[in-house]
Structure 1
Amino acid sequence: MATTQPITFYYAPQTRATGVRVLLEELGAPHILKVLNFKVGEHRQPPYLAINPLGKVPAILHGETLVTEQVAIYLHLGDLFAEAGLTPAINDPDRGAYLRWIALYGSSFEPAVIDRHRQYVPSDPNDTPYGRYEDLIAMIEDSLSNGPYLLGERLTVADILWGMALNWTVMFGLVPERPAIKAYIARMTGRPAFQRVAAEDAALAAQHQAEADKAAAAS
């Protein structure tokens, strides 16, 4: 085990933090949940703004090391718990493709699906970090057609990130449900860690909604 000191994990259900919770489960990483109820604005209160001034989750604290931003957290945890075998080593030939997929998510995929949601079609591919939306989706589909995972037969931290991202974006109609993408989502969300976290997330989200309703009724 890379560390026996638990990770303090700032978390809210059914957010981008959900994928990090799945990752912690997959890595077997000891962690303590610090749950924030977004429905009553706990992420906008001073205690959490001292952790992340943007009021966003996820965030992790390990000893004196604070990491925010989803992609940074995936990279940090993957390297911290390298013995789980989900991260190519620095001298591994797969390291380049691994880093590319994780960086691509934040730098290109998220801007692309946000533009899609807003029905914004750039007039020039050079004006976007992702080029053309259609080309990006085709590249993802082609990669997933070559193996069960992004790096072929090898499951990595990048798959936890993309499995969650594609599941949500297909669900909301931002990414087309093409065969290779659909099969990949089923493969990733069928994993025990995904199943377990999804069930707990749903229960916690319902609890948070009930707390928000109670607070609203009392005001």
Structure 2
Amino acid sequence: MHPQISYPSGTVRALLETDLVTRPTRDALSARLEPPDSGGPRFFMGPALTTLRAACARLIPQPHRTEPIDLARCIDERLATGAGNGWRYDSMPADGDACLAGLAGLDQTSQARYGTPFHELDGARQDDVLRAVQRGAAQGEVWTRMPATRFFEELLAECVEFYYSHPLAQEEIGYVGMADAPGWRAIGLNRLEPREPRAEPDTGG
């Protein structure tokens, strides 16, 4: 078993205050640390948002955080602004339609298996529903017109992307690639720049 390691907290936040980070990068990461008030959800409403929050909490659990990174908010903001990566699977509808349908599908599968909406299930049963969707073995009318496996793949990828693009998550893995203004000289195996954090044994404290 590999030993658990951790990195000092505050490393990314400290670097953002230096000239090691370019202004556009600093502005982007600072906005993720303290997102502007958008006045609440802009794309999802009601049950869809509740289901999305529950799914995000199972896909990227954050029990160590008193204030978890709000992945549902990130997805809501992306869809509200129409941002995207410029492509989609031909078996999937447009991003917003796919997400709304997939979240409805999670509730359909949950109702078929347990007789209750997805967000009301305990964690183990939510995981069971998500695994069924991942395997393409989920019940529900939605999955007859949209592949469950693709929806799961897209939702998981988006959660991971938003999580690890957040400065607090980057601190967890010792990532400081955003501090690239002066370039990189220590490129050999196990060599670190002075600005790169050193791993520490995780004492579990």
TM-score (norm 2): 0.30
Structure of higher CA gyration radius: 2
Flag the structure with more relative contact order, 1 or 2, with Cα contacts below 8 A and sequence separation at least 6: 2
